[in-house]
Structure 1
Amino acid sequence: MASLQDQLLKAGLTTKQKARQANTDKRKKNKQKRSGAQVESSIQEQVKQDIAKQKAEKLAKDAALNAERQLELAAKELHQRILQILTHHQVKGIEGETEYNYTFGSKIKKLFVNEQTQKALVNGRLSICGLDDVTYVVTAETAEKVATLDENVVLLQNDKSATDEVDEDDPYAAYQIPDDLMW
């Protein structure tokens, strides 16, 4: 019985040239299998896997850097927004002879205000905010708006209703602190 290749040649479905080419390809593949060409292909696969791994690591690193930059940009935008609110809504003309003490970070600072401003600060109508070592006197509504963005900016915000409540067990309940007490 003749081989399939011979049968195809007799039927005219293929040529002698194509048959010889198929035989040479078949011999080359067998020779590569015997000589260890598989080792080279496994090394190539390993290199491809390493390259894919490096690409994935680079993409992850780039994504992390991008996220960090976005957070920094958002923090800068928030800082600028707060600064704009404070400078735009700052109360002017509060300078006076009365000394008003407040804490800015871990330091006690003094602000010289007039009597009307001092009463407004004590009653909670005005508040003190601080940003970049600069003090701003703003209305209570502005301070509440700034507190929604960053509560660390608001240095002093008196709430008169909270100070009026007296604890029943307080031994000093009978001794109220005057509003104009200077410390």
Structure 2
Amino acid sequence: MSTSLKDQLLAAGLVKKKDVQNAKSAKKKAPSAPKKKRNKLSDTTLRAQRAMLDKAKKDKALNAQRKAEAERKARYAQIKQLVDGGKLDRKEGETAFNFTHKKKVKTIYVTEQQHRLLSNDQVVIVAMDNELYEIVPKKVAEQVAKRESHRVIQLANDKADAPAADDPYADYQIPDDLMW
């Protein structure tokens, strides 16, 4: 019994000869996927995978940027809270106090007592926004400097206070009421 399944089905009368011929011709006509299409499919999947990787990298960079921005805002909020809690009131200030910030001379108006404190380096100027400056005690300025040191404006340098060895005016006292 080495007859094929097709012969057995024909002998049993389950299929007709025409059905067998149709099946043969359909089998011959069935297209096999060309190798080029397979490569195209794999190329498109590779492109899609590359695009997904690129998108993941961009998303990661964007998330890092957003996180850094959120941290900066949180630091600014802490600094604002520190400064608002410790700033000195300058509303009645009539005396101009000049200082340099970002290579420009700036002026704020302070009271006489605040001017003396600034001159003696007992209080410090803190830069908040573009043109907003506040006067705070040294302890508050130290806390601000821990978060963002560029906001604290240094008025007196230890090197500048010490007279130079060849300074011809080193023996002369600078008057207290001198303002620049």
Instruction: Tell me if both proteins adopt one fold, taking TM over 0.5 as the criterion.
Output: yes
3-state DSSP of counterpart to 2:39: helix
The answer on whether the counterparts of 1:101 and 1:110 sit within 8 Å (CA) in structure 2 is yes
Give 1:60 shift. Answer: 0.7
Identical-residue share of aligned pairs (%): 29
Indicate which of 49, 71, 76 corresponds to 1:79: 76
2:162 partner letter: E
The answer on whether the counterparts of 2:90 and 2:109 sit within 8 Å (CA) in structure 1 is no
The answer on whether the counterparts of 1:129 and 1:155 sit within 8 Å (CA) in structure 2 is yes
2:51 matched to 1:69? Answer: no
Greater Cα shift, 36-45 or 89-98: 89-98
Taking a change above 3 Å as real, the CA distance of residues 111 and 102 of structure 1, as seen in their structure-2 partners, is: farther
**Which residue does 2:110 correspond to in 1?**
112
Indicate which of 102, 118, 122 corresponds to 1:121: 118
| CA distance in 2 between partners of 1:179 and 1:158 (Å) | 15
3-state DSSP of counterpart to 2:84: helix
3-state DSSP of counterpart to 2:64: helix
Indicate which of 95, 113, 116 corresponds to 2:92: 95
Indicate which of 148, 158, 171 corresponds to 1:150: 148
2:74 matched to 1:59? Answer: no
3-state DSSP of counterpart to 2:117: helix
The answer on whether the counterparts of 2:94 and 2:109 sit within 8 Å (CA) in structure 1 is no
Taking a change above 3 Å as real, the CA distance of residues 120 and 176 of structure 1, as seen in their structure-2 partners, is: same
**Which structure 1 residue ranges, 4+ long, deviate > 6 Å from structure 2?**
none
TM-score w.r.t. structure 2 length? 0.71
1:171 partner letter: P
Give 1:173 shift. Answer: 1.9
1:142 partner letter: V
How many residues are matched?
A: 156
Q: Which runs of 5+ in 2 are unaligned?
A: 7-23
RMSD (CA atoms): 3.0
TM-score w.r.t. structure 1 length? 0.70
1:158-173 map, 5 Å: 158=156, 164-173=161-170
2:69 partner letter: E
Q: Which runs of 5+ in 1 are unaligned?
A: 1-5, 7-14, 18-23
Indicate which of 113, 128, 140 corresponds to 2:138: 140
Greater Cα shift, 85-94 or 70-79: 85-94
Taking a change above 3 Å as real, the CA distance of residues 146 and 49 of structure 1, as seen in their structure-2 partners, is: same
